[in-house]
């Protein structure tokens, strides 16, 4: 039963520091996957570790009905970086929980049930967010799922507009699809999504679980489109490895959210880790670094002869190959000590800690050049 639902890699990790992981044999690996974007400020950042230690000495846990300074401080920090109008913060423990909350809030506030999502989209593995997820592979054996979900082609403004009507509670979209192959939405698509949801009185939900907190070179991946959603979800890199997520909600949604709850919402320990992580992102200029180093990495990757295409923004990049992404990833890890991730069968996904440098980018490109040959 070792691993249970997880496939086991042939590398046993013992420690981590900055952009590196070290195995039990003492071999060091450059982590260009950041454990699915979780290690946003690097592994074991001293400021995050210290914040967790100090909070553990004061208070491990108290349920969310009681005001706690560290929890309130996190809410204030999230409010400060939230898109305009998203002044209400719901804390939870994972990305799928954040999306579950978003869908529940939208249905209750609108009194409607229909949810419009996109082909290739991925929103989580619990029953509601799984219904919003497109790929049948993730759903097999778990049905029946929550009903009244409709999927439309991604980045097709007309198809989206045709699906949204007076029965629609929400549209949920990733500004850049992650599991779907690192596919950015066009500005026109996001603008149309905002337009049609406003006309229908539906909520626009942006799933920034993977794309948020500076990864794409802006705090939020949807920012360049110049619009704001009604609900925004964030997780992964928020807690530097501790389980935490947030659903940021506009006032009109928060006025009638329904009877939602969670025992571990805003645990003091994870709130301390998340608050310290946000502080590091700001103080160390990691949003700007993601844009600069990500742009450099993308330009170097585009010089390679093997890939069909390089997609993405900042430090969320997908390298599409002809076939065998997993085979290439194995060679990257075992032969070059670089860890990366797949995004489907033909895409190598790079989403390293936001602290990586151009030297790390050069090392990755050189290794990929050899692997792809």
Residue 295 annotated as part of some ligand binding site: no
User: φ and ψ at 171, to 5 degrees?
Assistant: -115, 130
The sign of the dihedral angle between the CA atoms of 52, 57, 61, 62 is negative
Sheet holding 316-320, edge to edge: 309-313, 316-320, 347-350, 341-342
Residue 208 annotated as part of some ligand binding site: yes
CA distances from 271 to 49, 81, 274 (A): 12, 16, 5
Q: What is the DSSP letter of 202?
A: P
The DSSP code sequence of 249-311 is E-HHHHTS--S---TTTT-HHHHHHHHHHHHHHHHTTHHHHHHHHHHHHHHHHTT-SS-SEEE
Helix axes of 358-372 and 286-301: crossing angle, nearest 10 degrees: 30
Residue 95 annotated as part of some ligand binding site: yes
d(CA 258, CA 260): 6
Residue 96 annotated as part of some ligand binding site: yes
Residue 256 neighbours by CB distance under 10 Å: 11
Residue 187 annotated as part of some ligand binding site: no
Residue 22 annotated as part of some ligand binding site: no
Residue 86's contacts (CB-CB under 8 Å, 6 or more residues apart) are: 79, 228, 229, 230, 231, 232, 248, 249, 250
Residue 373 annotated as part of some ligand binding site: no
List the helix and strand counts (H, then E) for the chain: 12, 17
Which residue, 24, 23, 29, is CA-closest to 336?
29
Quote the longest CA-to-CA distance of the chain.
60
Which residue, 178, 164, 184, 196, is CA-closest to 134?
178
d(CA 149, CA 118): 10
Residue 207 annotated as part of some ligand binding site: yes
Name the binding residues for substrate: 125, 262
Name the binding residues: 95-96, 122, 125, 207-210, 262-263
Name the binding residues for pyridoxal 5'-phosphate: 95-96, 122, 207-210, 263
């Amino acid at each position: 039963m070792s691993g249970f639902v997880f496939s086991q890699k042939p590398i046993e990790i013992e420690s981590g520091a900055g952009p590196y992981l070290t195995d039990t044999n003492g071999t060091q690996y450059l982590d260009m996957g950041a454990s699915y974007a979780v290690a946003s400020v690097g592994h074991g950042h001293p400021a995050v570790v210290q914040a967790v230690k100090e909070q553990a000495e004061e208070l491990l846990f108290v349920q969310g009905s009681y005001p706690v300074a560290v929890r309130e401080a996190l809410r204030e920090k999230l409010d400060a970086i939230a898109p305009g109008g998203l002044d209400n913060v719901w804390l939870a423990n994972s990305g799928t929980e954040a999306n579950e909350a978003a869908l529940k809030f939208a249905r209750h506030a609108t009194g409607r049930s229909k949810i419009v999502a996109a082909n290739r989209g991925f929103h989580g593995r619990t029953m509601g967010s799984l219904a919003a997820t497109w790929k049948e592979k993730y759903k097999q054996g778990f049905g029946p799922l929550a009903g009244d979900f409709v999927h439309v082609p991604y980045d097709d403004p007309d198809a989206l507009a045709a699906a949204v009507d007076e029965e629609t509670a929400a549209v949920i979209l990733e500004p850049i699809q992650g599991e779907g192959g690192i596919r950015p939405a066009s500005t026109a698509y996001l603008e149309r999504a905002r337009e049609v949801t406003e006309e229908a009185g539906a909520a626009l939900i942006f799933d920034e679980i993977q794309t948020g907190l500076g990864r794409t070179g802006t705090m939020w991946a949807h920012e360049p489109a110049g619009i704001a959603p009604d609900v925004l979800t964030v997780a992964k890199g928020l807690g530097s490895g501790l389980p935490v997520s947030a659903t940021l909600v506009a006032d009109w949604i928060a006025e009638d959210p329904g009877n939602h709850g969670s025992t571990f919402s805003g645990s003091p320990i994870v709130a301390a880790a998340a608050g310290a992580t946000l502080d590091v992102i700001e103080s160390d200029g990691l949003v700007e670094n993601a844009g600069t180093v990500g742009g450099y990495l993308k330009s170097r990757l585009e010089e390679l002869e093997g890939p069909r295409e390089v997609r993405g923004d900042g430090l969320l990049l997908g390298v599409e190959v002809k076939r065998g992404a997993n085979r290439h990833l194995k060679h990257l890890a075992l032969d070059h000590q670089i860890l990366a991730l797949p995004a489907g069968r033909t895409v190598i996904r790079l989403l390293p800690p936001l602290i990586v440098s151009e030297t790390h980018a050069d090392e990755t490109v050189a290794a990929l050049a050899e692997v792809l040959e």
